[in-house]
Amino acid sequence: MKGCTRCWQQEELDLLDGDPELLSDKIVHKFAWESTDHFDRDEYELAWRRLGYRVVRVLEQDPDDKLTAGLKWARFDSWPEDEQTALRTLVTDVVVRAAGDPERRWKLDELLQAAAQLDQDIAPWLRLADTFEDDAVAVLADTYADLYVYSAGPMSWMMWDDSNQPIHDWLLSPALRARLSTIDSPDAQDAVKNIDLMIEFSIR
């Protein structure tokens, strides 16, 4: 595989062309994080189609929404349907497992943003989040509401137009606020407080 020789040793590029199971997580992470224009686009697409499942493994261990940011350059939306479905299933499983794990759900925002790269839209993944148990929804809402109130909103690798708008709309939806109001947890209470501040100060 050809790539930027300032960033990659030839031995590493040769490994990317080989058996995905022989790659270390470090190399997989480096590939997913690398600037996309450091690779030939056709080769990059083929590499993603080989290595996508390994990237998802790394994503589960180290939630980081940049890991999937190359999917657009890899022409994910033109992959064979069975390959798209396979990667989507893996990513969905990672998100769902994290939502069910109290020790890991605090990174749900990164995972949802990573998943959003498959659609260039986070809205479908917020609809999935609505199916999570109450405590997971509270953690996610608290994370996002806090980002809107105390910073400039979510900062992510979702680079398409109005990428954060679905998050804003989700937070201000009456259904979410009503649900959070029934959850007896500090996360839910903080989320409601910050959502009310978003409304009061017209935070967008």
Domain segments of the chain as ranges: 63-200
Query: Which pLDDT score is estimated for 4?
Result: 85
Using the predicted structure, report yes or no on whether residue 163 has a pLDDT greater than 90: yes
Give me the chain's average pLDDT, please.
96
- For 2-42, what is each residue's pLDDT tens digit? 888 888 999 999 999 999 999 999 999 999 999 999 999 99
Tell me the Cα Rg of the chain. Answer: 18
- For 124-158, what is each residue's pLDDT tens digit? 999 999 999 999 999 999 999 999 999 989 999 99
Query: Which pLDDT score is estimated for 6?
Result: 86
Query: Which pLDDT score is estimated for 194?
Result: 97
Q: What is the mean pLDDT of residues 175-192?
A: 98
Residues 50, 44: Cα–Cα separation, whole Å: 10
Query: Which pLDDT score is estimated for 2?
Result: 87
> Cβ(71)–Cβ(77) under 8 Å?
no
Query: Which pLDDT score is estimated for 134?
Result: 98
Main-chain phi, psi angles of 79, to 5 degrees: -65, 160
Q: What is the CA angle 62-66-70, rounded to 5?
A: 125
Is the overall model pTM greater than 0.85, yes or no? yes
Query: Which pLDDT score is estimated for 73?
Result: 96
Query: Which pLDDT score is estimated for 204?
Result: 78
- The pLDDT-based confidence of 67 (bands split at 50, 70, 90) is very high
User: Percent of the chain scored above 70 by pLDDT?
Assistant: 100
> Cβ(95)–Cβ(82) under 8 Å?
no
Using the predicted structure, report yes or no on whether residue 203 has a pLDDT greater than 90: no
